[in-house]
């Protein structure tokens, strides 16, 4: 298939583009290469993709309405995987306009491109952050999620609503994926595992929020990629049993679907850090801090729908995942692997 992957120089977009190319798809990778984090890391990811005969890179911002319209008119994509977004919960508190430009304005431009050029299936990245003030565990796509606690989460919930509108009005098949704390090789420097690893190796203290009383459904990148590929290949059907008297948020009479992709096994943050310390052979200096604005104490994904409908459930252990990340980190930075 001919697939547009937005955010192709990003963490998940890079891995996903690589997987599509390996199975023989044609991939157009779009990225704005903004400087939210080290652009050299983004370029290093891209260098793994460029030169492959079925990959082409387009430097473009989703918020560029004319550029996006021209791209869709020119390329005639069959499927679209949207991973381009301004990421980060804490950064959204400091820079709200960046999130609206990328995650809302940019997403409208993407929806319009899909609508006008007969895209068979749009899959887009949502986030576990949409669960906000919800405390019922595990988090289910069948739960109401009307109480986000960061602008980032609000923009992701907005994406879900916007996608449903286009599915209903224009018959655009759309699927949203709520990712749960993705980690692994080539990961983002602003995420905990990358920051912790860098600090520990440099004998710097690591910041531990909520005094370590946190649990996260850490999900390894290979599991995310496998789940995404299976979902992209499965165009959603309308739910003929859907009831307006008791509306299910995850399905619709339109061709629209939501899934969680998480490890379904939340891990205590302190255990996560202990596992990293073992992999590095060094003990972290710990700076215990209160909870940060916009953060939640725990995440835990119900993945029953994903398992039932695309026959997949993430299963990489924290020990294996962190070990693979540490090996990549040392190789990437030219450190001693012994």
pLDDT in tens, 308-336: 999 998 889 999 999 999 999 999 999 87
- Kindly tell me if the per-residue pLDDT of 136 is higher than 90: yes
| Mean pLDDT value across residues 285-308 | 90
Q: How many Å apart are CA 276 and CA 93, to the nearest integer?
A: 29
- The enclosing H or E element of 80 equals strand 79-82
pLDDT of 94 reads 81
pLDDT of 44 reads 96
pLDDT of 337 reads 63
- Kindly tell me if the per-residue pLDDT of 293 is higher than 90: no
| Mean pLDDT value across residues 250-270 | 95
Q: How many Å apart are CA 172 and CA 117, to the nearest integer?
A: 10
| Mean pLDDT for all residues in the chain | 94
Please, are residues 104 and 92 in contact by the beta-carbon 8 Å criterion? no
pLDDT of 199 reads 96
Percent share of the chain, pLDDT over 90: 85
The band of 87, judged by pLDDT with boundaries at 50, 70 and 90, is: confident
Supply the residues annotated as catalytic.
152
A 10 A CB-CB count for 283 gives 11
Give CA separation, 338 vs 197, 331, 332, 335, in Å.
16, 11, 15, 9
| Mean pLDDT value across residues 10-28 | 97
The band of 338, judged by pLDDT with boundaries at 50, 70 and 90, is: low
Please, are residues 205 and 283 in contact by the beta-carbon 8 Å criterion? no
pLDDT of 103 reads 92
| Mean pLDDT value across residues 282-293 | 91
| Mean pLDDT value across residues 103-114 | 96
pLDDT of 37 reads 87
Q: What is the pTM of this model?
A: 0.94
Please, are residues 320 and 234 in contact by the beta-carbon 8 Å criterion? no
- Kindly tell me if the per-residue pLDDT of 90 is higher than 80: no
Provide the token pair at 222. 């290979």
């Amino acid at each position: 298939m001919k697939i547009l992957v937005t955010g192709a120089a990003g963490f998940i977009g890079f891995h996903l583009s690589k997987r599509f190319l390996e199975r023989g798809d044609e991939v157009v990778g779009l990225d704005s290469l903004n400087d939210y984090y080290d652009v050299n890391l983004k370029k290093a990811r891209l260098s793994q993709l460029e030169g492959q005969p079925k990959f082409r890179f387009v430097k473009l911002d989703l918020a560029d309405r004319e550029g996006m319209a021209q791209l869709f008119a020119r390329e005639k994509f069959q499927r679209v995987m949207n991973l381009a977004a301004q990421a980060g919960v804490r950064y959204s508190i400091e820079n709200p306009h960046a999130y609206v430009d990328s995650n809302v304005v940019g997403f409208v431009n993407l929806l319009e491109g899909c609508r006008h050029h007969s895209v068979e299936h749009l899959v887009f990245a949502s986030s576990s952050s949409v669960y906000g003030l919800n405390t019922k565990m595990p988090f289910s796509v069948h739960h109401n999620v009307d109480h986000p606690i960061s602008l980032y989460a609000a923009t992701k919930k907005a994406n879900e609503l916007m996608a449903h509108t286009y599915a209903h009005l224009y018959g655009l098949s759309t699927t949203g994926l709520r990712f749960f704390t993705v980690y692994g090789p080539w990961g983002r420097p602003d995420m905990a595992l990358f920051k912790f690893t860098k600090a520990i190796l440099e004998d710097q203290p690591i910041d531990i929020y909520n005094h370590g009383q946190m649990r996260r459904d850490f999900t390894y990148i290979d599991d995310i990629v496998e789940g995404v590929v299976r979902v992209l290949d499965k165009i959603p059907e309308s739910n003929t049993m859907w009831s307006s008297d008791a509306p299910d948020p995850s399905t619709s009479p339109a061709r629209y679907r939501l899934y969680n992709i998480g490890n379904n096994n939340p891990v205590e943050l302190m255990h996560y850090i202990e596992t990293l310390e073992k992999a590095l052979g060094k003990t972290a200096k710990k700076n215990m801090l209160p909870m940060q604005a916009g953060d939640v104490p725990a995440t835990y994904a119900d993945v029953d729908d994903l398992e039932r409908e695309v026959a997949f459930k993430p299963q990489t252990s924290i020990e294996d995942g962190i070990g693979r990340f540490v090996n990549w980190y040392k190789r990437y930075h030219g450190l001693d692997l012994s």
